[in-house]
Amino acid sequence: MIVARVYRNVDLTAYGSGRTGATNVLRTLGSGAAAIAFAGDFAKGLLAVLVVQYVVAAGSPRLPWLELIATIGAVLGHSYSMFIGFKGGRGVVTGFGATIIAAPVPMLIALVVGAVCIATTRYVSLGSVVGSGVAGLMLCGQAILTGEPAWAVWGVLVGGFIVVAHRDNIERLLAGTERKLGQRVL
């Protein structure tokens, strides 16, 4: 929202999907503005977990439950920002930024799967849903391997939230009306 206002004095919620995430910024304002929005969304999630790791739990063992709470706060704050009438993005990049710090290997695998999906189909929403689903499954696997149930809860809650946030995209994908990557709004 900030990038759209500063870049072109545009109310992003009035264009395209009405969301404030990087994909709608790309379609509405182009790749430069989208890169800035992507970086900001990523940083929100990243910083939430880093604050837990280096400020709240400094010198302590990892606290995945607190990292999960910080991630949920960042994703919900991004998706339902009180500053813009409880509107926002779908939480994909913010969730990725948080989770890549907490669980890098599962997230890198999910990133590759999502990116390949986007590259082959040109549907960002499909790549986001598939990548989030893979991330959720990978985090459940990490819970089994480590014996830490926080990872499974993380995968189900954050991954599940992102998939549900895309329900309108899923309906358009099934109907054959979803926009492909590169289709502009303005």
pLDDT band for 125, please (50, 70, 90 cuts): very high
Domain count, the chain: 1
Residues 81, 93, 55, 144, Cα dihedral to 10°? 120
Counting Cα atoms < 13 Å in the Cβ hemisphere of 38 gives: 10
Domain extent for 16: 2-175
pLDDT band for 165, please (50, 70, 90 cuts): very high
In a domain, 137, yes or no: yes
In a domain, 97, yes or no: yes
In a domain, 183, yes or no: no
Q: What is the pLDDT of residues 52-111, one digit of tens each?
A: 999 988 878 889 999 999 999 999 999 999 999 999 999 999 999 999 999 999 999 999
Burial class (CB in 10 A: 0-12, 13-18, 19+), 185: middle
Whether the predicted pLDDT of 112 surpasses 70? yes
3-state secondary structure (DSSP) of residue 36: helix
Whether the predicted pLDDT of 8 surpasses 80? yes
Share of the chain above pLDDT 90, in %: 87
In a domain, 104, yes or no: yes
* pLDDT score recorded for residue 186: 64
* pLDDT score recorded for residue 131: 98
Q: How far apart are CA 21 and CA 78, in angstroms?
A: 9
Among 14-18, 102-106, 148-152, 164-168, the least confident range: 14-18
Q: How far apart are CA 36 and CA 39, in angstroms?
A: 5
Token readout for 1 is: 């929202």
CA proximity to 78, closest of 36, 30, 118, 44: 44
In a domain, 151, yes or no: yes
Whether the predicted pLDDT of 171 surpasses 90? yes
* pLDDT score recorded for residue 58: 81
What's the whole-number average pLDDT of the chain? 94
- With a CB cutoff of 8 Å and minimum separation 6, the contacts of 137 are 155, 159
**Residue 89 near residue 20, CB atoms below 8 Å:** yes
Q: What is the pLDDT of residues 134-143, one digit of tens each?
A: 999 999 999 9
In a domain, 180, yes or no: no
- Say whether pTM exceeds 0.85: yes
Q: How far apart are CA 38 and CA 25, in angstroms?
A: 9
Q: How far apart are CA 165 and CA 83, in angstroms?
A: 19
In a domain, 186, yes or no: no
* pLDDT score recorded for residue 7: 82
In a domain, 142, yes or no: yes
